A and B are shown apart, each in its own frame.
Chain A
Amino acid sequence: MSENTSIDKNNYKNYTDEQLIFKFQKEDRKAYNEIVYRYKDRLINFLLRFTGNRESAEDISQETFFKLYVNKDKYTEIAKFSTWLYTIALNEARTNYRKEKRHNAISINDYYDGNHSDYQIKSNDLNPEDDANSGTEAFHIQRAIDSLAEKYREVIILRDIQDLEYEEIAKVLDIPLGTVRSRINRGRESLKITLEKLHKTKRILR
């Protein structure tokens, strides 16, 4: 019996996420490793779909787990651990996405006409990986997701790729449940439209 209990104590797979984080709050590093092991693939997929870039997805997930390590004591049992972790990851992804957006966009100030308006030109450079997968369905879907507005993209990924509940999405995004529903519907519709457009252009190109 004593052997079984010792095995149970060390078998972190049997613990829930909340139990693990509480263990980690008591300086149990194994609990932290278990959390990372459980969530690293889920997070990287979510972040890949959100950013459309594997490298930045990996960097953001690293940053997310590091923040979890540093701010472990800030977690309270009010929310589910997964919700809390997705919130951290989403905030990181948002800031990173905005930084990259600024970096890719070239601003030119037109002083000749006296108008101080900025011209934003999006760089359409494709990664070699994207170039190789450009013919696949997944690539088109990813392009369609990228073309969505941020607020629709977030809810679509969380609901249809990460399989989060509506309530959970509402908590992660800190918005009402009705707003989540409406955003998901609008996001899906716009995604459908963009995918159809992409298919049409594909046929034309063929």
Chain B
Amino acid sequence: MQEEEKHIDIIEKLKNLPRIKTGDDFMQKLESRIIEFDSEKNISDSKSRNDYKEKEEGFFSKLIGAKRKQWLVPAMGLAVVAVFTLYITQFNKNEITKDNQDSQNSNNNEIKQSDSPDLNRNKAEEKPPVGIPEPTEQKTESDNKTERSATNSNQNKAGIKEVPPTPVESSRMNIGKDNYKKENSDETPNSKKSTEESKGIIETEKMRGGRTSEVETENSGTMFKAESPAIDGKVNSSADELKDFERPIDQKLLDKLNAANKKKLDSLKKKMDK
């Protein structure tokens, strides 16, 4: 307060300074500025809302939502199918080629083995051993077993199931196995040779994963074909065994089939006549 008393003359001068008033257009100017600001704000708000909505609408909303683009659905479907087929073809190609290579290798080995009796026969003609069992024949059997087991394992890997033999085939197999055992126990290599030579035809056929391989020899001038399923890696490979028991069964079957067909044909004819 004392300080204010000191400078009272200056304070009075300052307080007595003339007061001014704002212009008449002061409020109008302010009002127009505010209106301008409000309109800009509304525009920017609407823009920001639209932007936000557009941002919110993601890929799936475009695909499924209300503002979905109709061309996107088939395009996406096609793309997915294309990718899926590509994936399957590319991956299966590799697996199929591997399987084919394995089967071809095994077939080649088997063909070689099946061809080996001829070679052995030639060798035997040159040096006929007496009372000594043929080593080649035994080797081929053991090799065949190992190869078959390998191929079976490959088949299992590839997801190919073994086809169980039909009752006729299984009976055939059993008979074949028994004969084979008997022959192995009784026959000498020389006797084997003699039987092979007498037949003149060596035929082997292996079943691998439902595929058949045919080996044909033309010693007798006739083509021969036999089928034998692969079970537990053991396949009747020798044509001698097959020949012994196959033919009568085939004939019986053929007879039965013919009879059945005839019956069917007759019945059909009757029906047609009626």
Contact = CB atoms under 8 A, between A and B. Distances in A.
B22 A41 contact: yes
Interface size class of A (residues with CB under 8 A): 20 to 34
A84 to B, nearest CB: 18
A69 B30 CA distance: 10
Contacts of B11: 160, 188
Contacts, number: 64
A189 B33 contact: no
Contact of A44 (B3, B15, B17, B22): B22
A40 B22 contact: yes
Interface string A179-196: 001001100110110010
Contacts of A66: 30, 33-34, 37
Interface string A115-150: 000000000000000000000011001100000000
Interface in A149-196: 156, 160-161, 181, 184-185, 188-189, 191-192, 195
A70 interface: yes
Contact of B10 (A49, A54, A70, A195): A195
Contacts of A138: 17-18
Interface string A41-65: 1001100110000100010011001
B37 A48 contact: no
Given A40-B26, A141-B14, A45 B19 contact: yes
A85 interface: no
Interface in B188-238: none
A45 B3 CA distance: 25
Interface size class of B (residues with CB under 8 A): 20 to 34
A137 B3 CA distance: 24
Contacts of A141: 13-14, 17
Contact of B13 (A65, A137, A185, A189): A137
A36 interface: yes
Contact of B3 (A41, A58, A70, A185): A185
Contact of A189 (B7, B14, B26): B7
Judged by DSSP, the binding face of B is helix
Contact of A160 (B15, B21, B23, B37): B15
B10 A58 contact: no
Interface in B1-39: 3, 7, 10-11, 13-15, 17-23, 26-27, 29-30, 33-34, 37
A165 B37 CA distance: 35
A62 B10 contact: no
Nearest to B18: A138
A138 B14 CA distance: 9
Contact of A188 (B7, B27, B37): B7
A192 B17 contact: no
A46 to B, nearest CB: 11
Contacts of A137: 13
Interface of B: 3, 7, 10-11, 13-15, 17-23, 26-27, 29-30, 33-34, 37
| 5 interchain residue pairs of minimum CB distance | A160-B14, A188-B7, A40-B22, A44-B22, A160-B11
Given A44-B20, A66-B37, 10 more contacts: A41-B22, A61-B22, A61-B26, A69-B34, A70-B37, A137-B13, A141-B17, A181-B3, A185-B7, A192-B7
Interface of A: 33, 36, 40-41, 44-45, 48-49, 54, 58, 61-62, 65-66, 69-70, 137-138, 141-142, 156, 160-161, 181, 184-185, 188-189, 191-192, 195
9 contacts: A33-B27, A36-B27, A66-B34, A66-B37, A70-B37, A141-B17, A142-B17, A188-B3, A192-B10
